[in-house]
Amino acid sequence: MALDIRGKYILSFLLLVFAAILTADIYLEYALGDWLESQLVAELRRHAMVGRAFVESQETPLTMERLDPLANLLGQDPEIRVSLIGEDGVVLGDSQRQGEALRTMENHGKRPEVVTAMRDGFGQSKHYSATLSRSMLYVAVSFHHPLGERGVVRVAIAIESVESINNRLNLALFVAGLIAVITALSLGGFSAHWATNTQRYIMACAQRMVHSAAAPRIQVHANDAMAGLASSLNLLAAEKHETLALLSEQKSQLATVLQSMTEGVIALDRAGRVTLMNRSVLELLGLSSPSIGQPIAALLPAYVVAELRLALEPLPMQPFSVEFDWDGVVLQRVVAVMTPLYEHEGHLIVLRDVTERRRLDLMRRDFVANVSHELRTPVSIIQANAQTLLDGALEEQGYNRVLVDAVERNASRLAQIISDLLELSRLEANQFAMELEHFYLLPVVQEVVALIQTAADDKQIAIQVEILPDLRVYADTEVVRRILSNFLDNAVKYIPTQSRIVVRSTPCQGRIRLEVVDNGAGIAPQHWGRLFERFYRVDSGRSRKMGGTGLGLAIVRHLAEKMGEKVGMEDVKPHGSLFWVTLSTVSDTDL
């Protein structure tokens, strides 16, 4: 149980009083015990000296018949035992033994108090009495009879009697201490109440300052530590008021900026619950009030939330975006960009309406598609005429044949470019139908390798397949063929003769990567980030010479993305390149 400041004062005061009383009690117990024993010894000595006076006043020889009645007379107090002992140690009289019992008592000449009294005239000791079967305090004085006889007058009292007196003294001391504690408690309570009055006032004012910025300041009319504390608290309260006002102003400014943004802003905690959203989110998603505290899954489509959560696993600190259709008042195209919060646990999602931008992109793609389609007819005519000329239509067979051959070659290349542009246009317009299915990967790879094998043999390039026969994937078979064909065709074209190509699969975060690895010269690092862009070539002259259009890898990237997968390229040490595409694996339990 926690004590307030007044309780601590009272407890401290009581502990001090208790310690003082305990110390005094211990001291008095020993001091009074010693004093009581010394007083008892003095009283017993006086009693023994009275006995000595009686013995020395006797005019007849000292016999047992004369001294025993004298011992009984001197020892009439039942708590005191008086013994008269001769010089030879024989007990001549004892106040607590008579007759035969007196005569059979053992010799007392060896008793310490008797020995000391015979030598020094006075002796005392404590020891167990075999005669009385209890511990006794003995005091002895020597006597000298006028007839020349010597002896000892011994007076004793039971130690139990001494302890009884000592216990009564201890009880008195305890009662006195208890009275002192009760008195100290009363006075301590009053003193603590008076002494802590200022502290309690300051504490109460401090509590009001904590809960209210408009609380009155502390007024202490003194010139001590409490006044200094009150002044410090007043200064702290003033700074708190200024800080809260500044924070309130900044919060108002941030809220104004946030609510004025055209993009929708949603802040999430680490558990994916909404902690903040602005007005644009309400308008974009058609909400009537902010959904603070709700999971993000209650606001966005399930597949969008799934993609956002999937993005947290491989790249938790990188921005990630996903685009989706939102069926509100009108169909809208929305981009959700998720980034981690700076120095906080959680993420920020920014929603942008890109409906108009996507409409313009669609118009641009349609334009490219239409232009490409219109170019196919003249290109076909050029190709047909060139073929006619090559068949002997021209009379001159020298220079004209070279020109016609160039016309035919460029016409074929134009046709390929137009074909690739049309395919890209279909992919970007979501006009490419995917047919996902379960299939064994090895037969498809072997089929593609067989198509490329002739070109590889011409350059003495070995193609090695390292894929398990029972590996099954879930994908579009034709898309996998297209992607792998592109990777292998590029590898055969651009690596030197007598090289090697390996087609393999490796596990990758619950999926597999279908990889094509070669040991060619490799690709310079400055080209890695742009390999999958349309019309981008590492070596433009060499690519055109080999018939490349610069669209193959761009088509591969679009095909993989439409299938929900990823493609990429990595460097190989000491030299070579690795192109890969991810694929979903299938186990027996999934079928």
Could you tell me the sign of the dihedral formed by the alpha carbons of 528, 533, 538, 542, in that order? Answer: positive
Task: For residue 168, give both structure tokens.
Answer: 């009564």
Report the C-alpha gap between 496 and 458 in whole angstroms. 11
* The pLDDT value given to residue 514: 94
- The H or E element spanning position 80 is strand 80-86
Block residue for tokens 């035992």? 81
Work out the burial of residue 289: count CB atoms within 10 Å of its CB; fewer than 13 is exposed, 13-18 middle, 19 or more buried.
Answer: exposed
- The H or E element spanning position 237 is helix 225-260
* The pLDDT value given to residue 281: 82
* The pLDDT value given to residue 315: 45
Report the C-alpha gap between 146 and 52 in whole angstroms. 12
Strand 150-158 relative to strand 264-268, pairing: unpaired
* The pLDDT value given to residue 465: 93
Block residue for tokens 């118009």? 363
The residues of the chain scoring below 70 in pLDDT are 1-10, 13-14, 24-25, 27-33, 130-132, 161-167, 169-170, 173, 184-185, 187-204, 206-230, 309-318, 363-364, 366-378, 381, 384-385, 387-406, 534-550, 587-591
Per-residue burial over 73-103, b = 16 or more CB atoms within 10 Å of its CB, e = otherwise: ebbeeeebbbbbbbbebbbbbbbbbeeeebe
DSSP state of 526: G
Listed residue (217, 194, 222) closest to 205, CA to CA: 217
**From the CB of residue 519, how many other CB atoms can be counted at a distance below 10 Å?**
18
Helix axes 355-388, 399-428, angle to 10 degrees: 160
CA terminus-to-terminus distance, the chain:
65
Work out the burial of residue 247: count CB atoms within 10 Å of its CB; fewer than 13 is exposed, 13-18 middle, 19 or more buried.
Answer: exposed
Under a CB-based contact definition with an 8 Å cutoff, are residues 430 and 323 in contact? Answer: no
Report the C-alpha gap between 376 and 415 in whole angstroms. 7
DSSP bridge pairs for 336: 322, 351
Helix axes 225-260, 197-211, angle to 10 degrees: 10
Report the C-alpha gap between 259 and 268 in whole angstroms. 17
**From the CB of residue 591, how many other CB atoms can be counted at a distance below 10 Å?**
7
- The H or E element spanning position 569 is strand 567-571
Block residue for tokens 């992109």? 361
Domains of the chain, first to last:
7-165 (3.30.450.20), 203-256 (no CATH), 261-351 (3.30.450.20), 358-428 (1.10.287.130), 436-590 (3.30.565.10)
**From the CB of residue 67, how many other CB atoms can be counted at a distance below 10 Å?**
24
Instruction: Find all residues with CB under 8 Å of 189, minimum gap 6, and list them.
Output: 10
Under a CB-based contact definition with an 8 Å cutoff, are residues 277 and 263 in contact? Answer: no
**Size of the chain in residues:** 591
Q: What is the pTM of this model?
A: 0.39
What CA–CA distances, in Å, run from 261 to 329, 353, 433? 21, 12, 38
Task: For residue 184, give both structure tokens.
Answer: 């100290």
Q: What is the CA radius of gyration of the chain?
A: 58
For 84, list phi and psi in degrees, rounded to 5: -115, 115
Task: For residue 78, give both structure tokens.
Answer: 């039942």
Start-end of H helices in 399-539:
399-428, 441-458, 477-494
* The pLDDT value given to residue 218: 64
